[in-house]
């Protein structure tokens, strides 16, 4: 193949990689006229701020990035540019510098190290302001792992067949995860772990996590989850010891346990989420207080639609739809210490026997309660008229 003209490389860089420098080096074979035969050699010889363009091909190496670079496949197509770990006991890409972009690769082959730790396809360690986009990351311990890393953007990646998880954040905040697809992982699809705060998860899809949750937050606060879809996982969305998170317009359907599950998680907001056809509860809270559940749909679940279980108080439910569930549509263990403003449909989950002190009142009872002021007004007016008639 002839050497790629310089003007074509410059055009590609300017047109396809936002903010890229005109300083570009290439990776490929001698016949392609590339500057280097391996990605690592190109990185070693690049100046910070350079762009490294990789010709289509198969590259067997572990890549260590310690300077600001844009590393991109020339085609932008991950199917024709594959990077496989030379040593499966290491991460495939290890990023330790800020402002690094990884774009357009298939990345595979990271396994378990000598200490029993799973390694990642892409690993950020203390790396900020990076971009991971349009990669296929498969058959690794973790797909993408961010540790102590802030303000990174992960968009349009696929992570599948991971031994542990698809995308894992540990003590990593202010990151953006948009339009990623996670499929067939042994544990969590997306996991925000321990002090991973103020992240945004939008329009991600998780399908088939065998023993973990589709999306899990543990000890992580102030995150926004919007328009994500979780299907065929253990639990759909699981929050543990996490507060002040916002879940809006998410779908958690057809999971093997609960659709949305809060455990010891307080002051979160659930609005317009759908949790249907799950094998346990649609929405489940245990030891979780002061949460808002507004206009969610929890229907056709095998157990309860919405289940506020032990030691859950101060929660407010407004305008939720819960219908055709296997047990109760709305089940509240402590109804006196939770507020149910409106529940749809208006069919009553009538309390029976010993359950009467534990079941939530139906929308019909709420409707009756809403008419109490009018009834009192009519009664008082009647008494006044009766008193005046007797007086005259």
As a residue count, the chain comes to 392
pLDDT in tens, 159-178: 999 999 999 999 999 999 99
Query: What is the per-residue burial (b if ≥16 Cβ within 10 Å, else e) of 4-18?
Result: beeeebeebbeeebe
**Residue 44 forms part of a structural domain:** no
**356: Cβ contacts below 8 Å, ≥ 6 apart:** none
User: Quick one: pLDDT at residue 341?
Assistant: 81
Is the residue at 382 inside a domain? Answer: yes
Which three-class secondary structure string do you get for 217-277?
Answer: EECCCCCEEECCEEECCCCCEEEECCCCCEEECCEEECCCCCCEEEECCCCCEEECCECCC
- With a cut of 60, say whether residue 390 has pLDDT above it: no
* pLDDT surpassing 90 at residue 101: yes
Distance, in Å, from the CA atom of 96 to the CA atom of 238, rounded to the nearest integer, reads 30
Cβ(147)–Cβ(128) below 8 Å: no
Cα–Cα distance, 102 to 104 (Å, whole number) = 7
Respond yes or no on whether the N-terminal peptide bond of residue 334 is cis (omega within 30° of 0).
no
d(CA 169, CA 189): 11
**Which percentage of the chain shows pLDDT scores above 70?**
81
Task: Give 212-215's long-range contacts (Cβ < 8 A, gap of 24+).
Answer: 212/165, 212/185, 212/186, 212/187, 212/188, 213/188, 213/189, 213/237, 213/238, 213/261, 214/182, 214/188, 214/189, 214/190, 214/252, 214/255, 215/188, 215/189, 215/190, 215/191
pLDDT tens by residue, 223-258: 999 999 999 999 999 999 999 999 999 999 999 999
Record the tokens describing residue 186, joined without a space. 């042994």
The CA dihedral of 200, 204, 210, 212, to the nearest 10 degrees, is 10
Q: With CA atoms as reference, report the closest residue to 171 among 132, 136, 124.
A: 124
Cβ burial, residue 298 (10 Å; 0-12/13-18/19+)? buried
| pLDDT value at 198 more than 50 | yes
Is 249:257 a contact under the CB 8 Å cutoff?
Answer: no
Round the average pLDDT of the chain to a whole number and report it. Answer: 87
Total domains in the fold of the chain: 1
CATH of the domain at 305: 2.160.20.10
Q: Are 229 and 254 in contact (CB under 8 A)?
A: no
Residue carrying structure tokens 């290491």: 90
pLDDT at position 277, please? Answer: 98
Average pLDDT over residues 57-76: 98
Q: What is the pLDDT of residue 223?
A: 98
CB-side neighbour CA atoms (13 Å) of 9: 23
- Residue 144 placed within a domain: yes
From the number of C-beta atoms within 10 Å of its C-beta (0-12, 13-18, 19+), residue 119 rates as buried
Does residue 244 sit within a domain?
A: yes
Percent of the chain clearing pLDDT 90 (strictly above): 79
Can you give the residue range of the structural domain that contains 357? 53-391
Strands 93-95 and 283-286: unpaired
Judge whether 186 lies within some domain.
Answer: yes
Instruction: State the DSSP string of 80-136.
Output: GEEEE-SSTTS-SEEE-SSS-EEES-EEE---B-TTS-B-EEEEEES--S-EEES-E
pLDDT tens digit string along 11-52?
A: 344 444 443 345 999 999 877 899 999 999 999 999 999 999
* pLDDT above 80 for 373: no
7-16, 196-205, 275-284, range with the lowest pLDDT? 7-16
Q: Are 19 and 26 in contact (CB under 8 A)?
A: no
- Calculate the alpha carbon distances from 208 to 52, 230, 318 in Å: 35, 9, 31
Residue appearing with tokens 């990623």: 180
Give the pLDDT band of residue 2 (cuts 50, 70, 90): very low
Residue-level pLDDT at 342? 55
Of the candidates 295, 249, 243, 235, the residue with the CA atom closest to the CA atom of residue 264: 243
Residue 338 lies in a domain: yes
Condensed to tens digits (0 to 9), the pLDDT of residues 277-319 reads: 999 999 999 999 999 999 999 999 999 999 999 999 999 999 9
Specify the range with the lowest mean pLDDT, choosing from 95-104, 112-121, 354-363. 354-363
pTM of the full structure: 0.84
Residue 188, pLDDT > 70, answer yes
List, in sequence order, every residue forming a beta bridge with 36; answer none if it has no partner.
27
In a domain, 371, yes or no: yes
Q: What is the pLDDT of residue 85?
A: 98
**pLDDT average, residue stretch 262-281:** 98
More confident: 134 or 374: 134
- On whether residue 47 sits in a domain, the answer given is no
pLDDT at 351 over 90: no
For residue 7, pLDDT over 70 is answered with: no
> Which pLDDT does position 381 carry in this prediction?
53
Arithmetic mean of pLDDT, 130-143: 98
């Amino acid at each position: 193949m002839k050497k790629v003209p310089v003007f074509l490389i410059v055009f590609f860089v300017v047109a396809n990689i936002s903010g890229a420098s005109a300083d570009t080096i290439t990776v490929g074979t001698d016949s392609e006229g590339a500057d280097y035969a391996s990605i690592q050699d190109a990185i070693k010889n690049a100046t910070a701020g350079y762009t490294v363009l990789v010709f289509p091909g198969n590259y067997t190496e572990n890549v260590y990035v310690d300077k600001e670079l844009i590393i991109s496949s020339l085609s932008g197509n991950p199917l024709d540019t594959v990077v496989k770990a030379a040593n499966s006991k290491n991460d495939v890409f290890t990023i330790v510098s800020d402002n690094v972009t990884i774009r357009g690769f298939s990345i595979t082959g990271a396994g378990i190290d000598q200490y029993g730790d799973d390694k990642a396809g892409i690993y950020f360690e203390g790396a900020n302001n990076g971009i991971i986009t349009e990669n296929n990351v498969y058959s690794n311990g973790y797909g993408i792992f961010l540790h102590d890393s802030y303000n990174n953007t992960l968009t349009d990646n696929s992570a599948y067949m991971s031994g542990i998880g698809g995308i894992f954040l540990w003590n990593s905040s202010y990151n953006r995860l948009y339009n990623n697809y996670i499929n067939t992982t042994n544990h969590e699809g997306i996991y925000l772990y321990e002090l991973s705060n103020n992240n945004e998860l939008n329009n991600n899809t998780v399908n088939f996590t065998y023993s973990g949750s589709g999306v899990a937050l543990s000890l992580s606060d102030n995150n926004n989850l919007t328009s994500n879809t979780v299907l065929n996982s253990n639990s759909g969305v699981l929050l543990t010891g996490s507060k002040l998170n916002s879940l809006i317009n998410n779908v958690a359907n057809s999971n093997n346990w609960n659709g949305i599950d809060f455990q010891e998680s307080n002051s979160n907001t659930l609005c317009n989420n759908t949790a249907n056809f799950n094998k346990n509860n649609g929405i489940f809270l245990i030891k979780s207080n002061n949460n808002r559940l507004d206009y969610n749909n929890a229907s056709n679940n095998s157990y309860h639609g919405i289940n506020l279980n032990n030691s859950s108080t101060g929660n407010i439910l407004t305008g939720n739809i819960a219908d055709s569930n296997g047990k109760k549509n709305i089940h509240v263990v402590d109804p006196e210490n939770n507020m149910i403003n409106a529940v749809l449909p208006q069919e009553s989950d009538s309390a029976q026997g010993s359950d009467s002190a534990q079941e939530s009142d139906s929308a019909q009872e709420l409707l009756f309660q809403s008419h109490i002021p009018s009834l009192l007004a009519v009664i008082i007016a009647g008494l006044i008229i009766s008193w005046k008639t007797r007086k005259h």
